Amino acid sequence: MAASRFSSLLRRSVSAAPLLRSIGNNSNSARGIRRFSTATVFEEPITPPVQITYTQNLINGHFVDAASGKTFPTYDPRTGEVIAHVAEGDAEDVNRAVAAARKAFDEGPWPKMTPYERSRILLRFAHLVEKHSEELAALETWDNGKPHEQAAKSELPMLVRLFHYYAGWADKIHGLTVPADGNYHVQTLHEPIGVAGQIIPWNFPLLMFAWKVGPALACGNTIVLKTAEQTPLTALYVAKLFLEAGLPPGVLNIISGFGPTAGAALASHMDVDKIAFTGSTETGKIVQELAARSNLKPVTLELGGKSPFIIFDDADIDKAVELAHFALFFNQGQCCCAGSRTYVHEHIYDEFVEKAKARAVRRAVGDPFKKGIEQGPQIDSEQFQKVLRYIKSGIESNATLECGGDRIGNKGYFVQPTVFSNVQDDMLIAQDEIFGPVQSILKFKDINDVIRRANATRYGLAAGVFTGSLETANTMMRALKAGTVWINCFDVFDAAIPFGGYKMSGVGREKGIYSLNNYLQVKAVVSPLKNPAWL
């Protein structure tokens, strides 16, 4: 099956007129630049075609209030207004969920089911997701702010595909018979690890749910999953679909809450056998420390990135501009593998910058429920303000602001698509993960120069290379210290393609066969053989 591609969105022609207008020049540059109007007024937000049904925690097959009775608001990033109030889980709720998961693993039917039976439940769940895809896409857009077309046409189909993939693995997990010196029969058993704690981020709530839950269930584990406090709604919705698909009580438990309370309690819990976390590198360090200080549970981490996107002088510039634009601005720039350092060969640099600026100015920003919109709001006020601070830092560092640089309107968390040129490697906008619609374009001289600079980062999640030379592509794919290298493409994801980082971008791999290793123990079994016919 062809790889699921976020980059299929590149093929969609957006004919909407630019929402913003040119209003002046950047004092840092002799060239005139396009600036976006901060007076842009959006129409009244479109009413999402979905009702909020599930706001309680799921523990042992039942939706329940938090033990404390507390709730917290989840917000519409288009307006900053409250969508719903959700149960605020804390340490006591985590304790109850872990107890339910432990009982389901030790005494319940799930680990004792045949792998084929587990596979059928995963397939029934995938079918239910397809049946409810319209509601889920609307809920994801409402709670997260991503374009509805992206959620409905790319992410929901990918969610279904992921669970089909892991359903297929459920009855294909097995050990080996191992030859050994001497008269012994040696075999290995691949056993579920037990109770898996999982903490997912807010930028791709449903997909990260699938990346974590799919392999854990295929291997026969039970789960306590903590949602991101910014986007709890879709995980609770699909949890109900799992119950409808026949998943036994206690196998999947969902806690909504905050990192310092619910997240810390889960990572440090003595009866959790494994932790999987996706989020920032800083928080990943805390999760790993909590896991080590408690019962030394194994940890997989998918963390931050500052991925280089490298364009050589033999590239088709128009195609390179479009792909580099997509690599950075996709999902409002809120993507851990975003191509946030755009390295362009000096021979084509000026032409590339002009065309990249023009493409950013054409980017359609607005209500993500509106057809043809490419960019919605940032997730919340905190992330919105963080992006604006980095833009200010770029200006103060004497990078050239080509376009953008401010908010859009006075409601919600919309940021103008922003492009900087003349960016230097020591600037914060070239070093830190901004997680927003800010493209930094750097100039390089030759292949050795760009390899050295691209690798001179604490991150190593992904990289992109755009070239017409097979020799250059082969050199770069081996030289770049990153977990994924996309050649003449970007953000190509498939259930079978492993994803994870080098260096401070994480530990372990998500998706594909490699993800199963995160949720299995390997047991060696040795027994003597008397008078064997053969060894």
Query: Mean pLDDT across the stretch 473-500?
Result: 98
Alpha-carbon torsion, ordered 264, 269, 273, 276, to 10 deg: -10
The pLDDT of residue 32 is 37
Question: DSSP 3-state assignment of 227?
Answer: strand
Phi, psi of 380 (to 5 degrees): -160, 180
Please name the amino acid found at residue 524.
Answer: A
The pLDDT of residue 5 is 45
Rounded-to-integer distance, Cα 413 and Cα 463, Å: 28
Task: State pTM to two decimals.
Answer: 0.92
The length of the chain, given as a count of residues: 535
Please name the amino acid found at residue 244.
Answer: E
How many of the other CB atoms lie within 10 Å of CB of 12? Answer: 11
H or E stretch at 300: strand 299-302
Q: 275, 270, 201, 265: which is closest to 234 by C-alpha? A: 201
Rounded-to-integer distance, Cα 221 and Cα 102, Å: 10
Half-sphere exposure of residue 120, counting CA atoms within 13 Å on the CB side?
7
Whether 518 shows a pLDDT value over 80: the answer reads yes
Rounded-to-integer distance, Cα 29 and Cα 17, Å: 26
Mean pLDDT of the chain: 93
The pLDDT of residue 43 is 78
Catalytic residue among 302, 374, 433, 510: 302
Angle at 178 between CA 173 and CA 180, to 5 degrees: 165
Q: Is the dihedral of CA 122, 127, 214, 76 positive or negative?
A: negative
The pLDDT of residue 33 is 36
Q: 351, 347, 367: which is closest to 359 by C-alpha? A: 351
Q: 219, 252, 250, 216: which is closest to 106 by C-alpha? A: 250
Rounded-to-integer distance, Cα 530 and Cα 52, Å: 66
pLDDT, tens digit (0-9, with 9 covering 90-100), for 292-325: 999 999 999 999 999 999 999 999 999 999 999 9
Farthest CA pair distance, the chain: 90
Helices H, strands E: what count in the chain?
16, 20
* 452-to-220, 308, 432, 441 alpha-carbon distances in Å: 44, 11, 18, 17
Rounded-to-integer distance, Cα 453 and Cα 308, Å: 9
Whether 514 shows a pLDDT value over 50: the answer reads yes
* DSSP-assigned states of every residue in 482-515: SSEEEES---B--TTS-B--SGGGEES-BSHHHH
pLDDT, tens digit (0-9, with 9 covering 90-100), for 354-373: 999 999 999 999 999 999 99
Question: 317 near 345, Cβ under 8 Å?
Answer: no
How many of the other CB atoms lie within 10 Å of CB of 105? Answer: 22
Rounded-to-integer distance, Cα 13 and Cα 291, Å: 47
Angle at 128 between CA 127 and CA 131, to 5 degrees: 90
Whether 429 shows a pLDDT value over 90: the answer reads yes
pLDDT, tens digit (0-9, with 9 covering 90-100), for 196-215: 999 999 999 999 999 999 99
State yes or no: is 302 an active-site residue.
Answer: yes
Rounded-to-integer distance, Cα 249 and Cα 217, Å: 13
Please name the amino acid found at residue 69.
Answer: G
Rounded-to-integer distance, Cα 433 and Cα 306, Å: 6
Question: DSSP 3-state assignment of 311?
Answer: strand
The pLDDT of residue 6 is 52
pLDDT, tens digit (0-9, with 9 covering 90-100), for 22-45: 222 333 433 333 344 333 445 799
H or E stretch at 163: helix 156-169
